[in-house]
Amino acid sequence: MQRHFELALESLKADIIKMGSLAEEGIASAIRSLQSRDTALARSVIDRDVEINALETRNDRAVVDLLALQQPVATDLRFILAALKINNDLERIGDHAVNIAESALQYAEREPLSLFVDLPRMSSVTMDMLRNSIDSFIHSDPLKSRSVLVNDDVIDDLNRKIVGDLSAAMRRDPACIDQALELIRVSRNLERVADLATNIAEEVIFIAEAQNVKHNVEKTVPGH
Amino acid sequence: MQRHFELALESLKADIIKMGSLAEEGIASAIRSLQSRDTALARSVIDRDVEINALETRNDRAVVDLLALQQPVATDLRFILAALKINNDLERIGDHAVNIAESALQYAEREPLSLFVDLPRMSSVTMDMLRNSIDSFIHSDPLKSRSVLVNDDVIDDLNRKIVGDLSAAMRRDPACIDQALELIRVSRNLERVADLATNIAEEVIFIAEAQNVKHNVEKTVPGH
């Protein structure tokens, strides 16, 4: 029974890790499709969302079975509940990848904007947060989780700057309004992905430290 | 022990219902503050988000305690897991109320747009969805939940129409760009609230019918 339980836990963890890779790949590909105007890539991101959705459903069932059949307590219970939430967060990240890919398709139909907007930095910081939050889950590393939390404000500032730059561009040249609106949508979707990466990091801290850091976050890396 | 368990379950349910009222009130007030340019009301929405956050933390702890101490199975287990997710959904709805209130503050600083944009209908459909999803949870009424699911497409269409109308308005009159951007942000936040209301409705169906309707939804009301 104990052995079976451990195997089921490992399998849940493996599926969450797989989902994490799919979510990460989805966001990375969606951003790449926007930058390189690669509509086939954008469409493949939209098509592949079913894989994440199928994994979410499977993981949800695994959680119900684990709780019903094994009645775990303490660290195992915290791990399973956190996995349930992370599962949901990753599925939402998949949805944001789809939104970005849809914007990439719209954007590719028109002239690209000639101004520099700092979406490359925004997506690189967001991808780092996402990767680190998933790594911190894989290695049960709450110190790495805390490094994710500090970046949430950086993302908020970048989003505000990008939206400001793009609305200024629209005022200067109304012909670029549709293009600028798509990039604003991308920026807001990246901001939500960063929020969800922050949630995942908070869940990892919850598993490790049995404390709920949400709404009461020390946004500092210990020693800094 | 059994009596204690039932009381704890009732208390969790009462807290979720309270959170539902706060979330509903938050969205309604945020929209009213936008329409009536009431900045004091908008600020009160932003300030009151701490109440929802505090309830979320309390409910999360209640779920861990219920699962660890009582090791429920079957319907009770499904109810508790659904409550955990609904708790999270309602907290996010609170965040969207804050976003809309922030847009209301920005919007109130400038001339209102003179064109008609169908945000009143969008917010009324969204509020209906939210109210029905919470009601369906209170009364364990999966039929009412299904009535929520059918509206998700209506909201997507309304959002597309509103964003289209506003981008056309920006092209006609670039002086209204900042105002129009705020209304687009409001529309997208309402769309997310409708998505979350849909999630809540799906969870209620999950409790009642032990089936996961997510990603596999019959978007029809039985008999229609």
User: pLDDT, tens digit, for every residue of A120-146?
Assistant: 999 999 999 999 999 999 888 999 999
Q: What is the DSSP string of A36-82?
A: HT-HHHHHHHHHHHHHHHHHHHHHHHHHHHHHHHH---HHHHHHHHH
List the single best residue of A57, A160, A170 to mutate versus B (max B Cβ within 10 A): A170
The pLDDT confidence band at residue B30, using thresholds 50, 70 and 90, is: very high
Instruction: Report how far residue B130's alpha carbon sits from residue B214's, in angstroms, rounded to the nearest whole number.
Output: 17
Whether A178 and B188 lie within 8 Å, measured CB to CB: no
- Read off the pLDDT of each residue in B11-27 and give the average, rounded to a whole number: 95
The pLDDT confidence band at residue A1, using thresholds 50, 70 and 90, is: low
The pLDDT confidence band at residue B36, using thresholds 50, 70 and 90, is: very high
Amino acid at B7: L
- The residue ranges of every structural domain in chain A are 2-209
pLDDT of residue A114: 82
Instruction: Report how far residue B53's alpha carbon sits from residue B39's, in angstroms, rounded to the nearest whole number.
Output: 22
List the single best residue of B88, B191, B216, B217 to mutate versus A (max A Cβ within 10 A): B88
Percentage of chain A surpassing pLDDT 90? 78
φ, ψ (nearest 5 deg) of residue B213: -90, -10
- Read off the pLDDT of each residue in A38-42 and give the average, rounded to a whole number: 98
- Read off the pLDDT of each residue in A161-176 and give the average, rounded to a whole number: 93
Angle between helices A177-209 and A152-172 (to 10 degrees): 170
Least confident of A95-109, A188-202, A205-219, B76-90: A205-219
The pLDDT confidence band at residue A216, using thresholds 50, 70 and 90, is: low
The pLDDT confidence band at residue A224, using thresholds 50, 70 and 90, is: very low
**CATH of span B2-209:** 1.20.58.220
Of B54, B67, B170, the CB nearest to A67: B67
Which residues in chain B are closer than 8 Å to A78, comparing Cβ atoms? 64
Its pTM stands at 0.89
Reported ipTM: 0.85
pLDDT of residue B218: 44
A44 CB burial (10 A radius; 0-12, 13-18, 19+): middle
pLDDT of residue A70: 82
The pLDDT confidence band at residue A10, using thresholds 50, 70 and 90, is: very high
Amino acid at A217: V
Amino acid at B216: N
Q: Name the token pair of A72.
A: 């775990």
Nearest to B90 by CA among B61, B57, B65: B57
List the single best residue of B181, B183, B187, B207 to mutate versus A (max A Cβ within 10 A): B181
- Per-residue CA distances from A193 to A85, A105, A146, A160, A196 (Å): 15, 20, 17, 15, 5
Instruction: Report how far residue B84's alpha carbon sits from residue B56's, in angstroms, rounded to the nearest whole number.
Output: 9
Instruction: Tell me: pLDDT of A212 over 90.
Output: no
Better-scored residue on pLDDT, B34 or A219 = B34
B142 near B204, Cβ under 8 Å?
yes
* DSSP H helices in chain A: 2-36, 39-70, 74-108, 119-138, 142-149, 152-172, 177-209
Q: Other C-beta atoms within 10 Å of B218: how many?
A: 10
What residues of B are in the A interface, CB distance below 8 Å?
A: 50, 53-54, 56-57, 60-61, 63-64, 67-68, 71, 73-74, 77-78, 81, 84-85, 88, 163, 167, 170-171, 174, 177-178, 181, 184-185, 188, 212, 214-216
B137 near B16, Cβ under 8 Å?
yes
Nearest to B103 by CA among B180, B197, B22, B26: B180
Look-up of token digits 């926007």: A34
Amino acid at A143: L
Rg (CA), chain A: 19
Opening angle at CA B105, ends B103 and B107, nearest 5: 65
Instruction: Report how far residue A41's alpha carbon sits from residue A27's, in angstroms, rounded to the nearest whole number.
Output: 11
pLDDT in tens, B129-149: 999 999 999 888 999 999 999
Of A54, A60, A174, the CB nearest to B174: A174
* DSSP H helices in chain B: 2-35, 39-70, 74-108, 119-138, 142-149, 152-172, 177-209
- Read off the pLDDT of each residue in B96-119 and give the average, rounded to a whole number: 93
φ, ψ (nearest 5 deg) of residue B220: -135, 145
